Amino acid sequence: MTDTIELSPAAEQLLPAVDALSVKDQEGLVQYILARLDGPPDDPAEVRKAWKAVILRRIAEIDSGKVVGVPIEEMFRKSREKHP
C-alpha cells in the first residue's frame, strides 16, 4: 500500500497500528490529519470579503471589455465534449 508513497521510518512504524484500527477510527484519524494539514478554519467574514472582491473584479473586467463571457450553451457543449 505504501509502494508509491515515501514515508519516514517513524511513519512506517505507525502503519501496523493504523491497520489494526476499525474503519471508523481510521476515518477519524484521516479527518484529524486533514484538519491539521488545512490549518485553522478560515474566518467566514474574511472569506465573504475575499469572494466579494473577486466578484467585483470580475464584473469590472466584463464591464470594461477586458474579458468576454462565454455563452452557457457553449460552456455546456465544451463540458460534454471533455466529459462524455
Q: Please report where in the chains the cell 472569506 appears, as a residue.
A: 47
Residue-wise pLDDT for 45-57, tens only, equals: 999 999 999 999 9
Cα 11–Cα 13–Cα 16 angle in degrees, nearest 5: 110
pTM of the entire predicted model? 0.49
For residue 3, what pLDDT is reported? 65
Closest listed residue to residue 30, CA positions, set 77, 38, 84, 53: 38
Whether the pLDDT of residue 1 is over 70: the answer is: no
Residue-wise pLDDT for 2-30, tens only, equals: 567 899 999 999 999 999 999 999 999 99
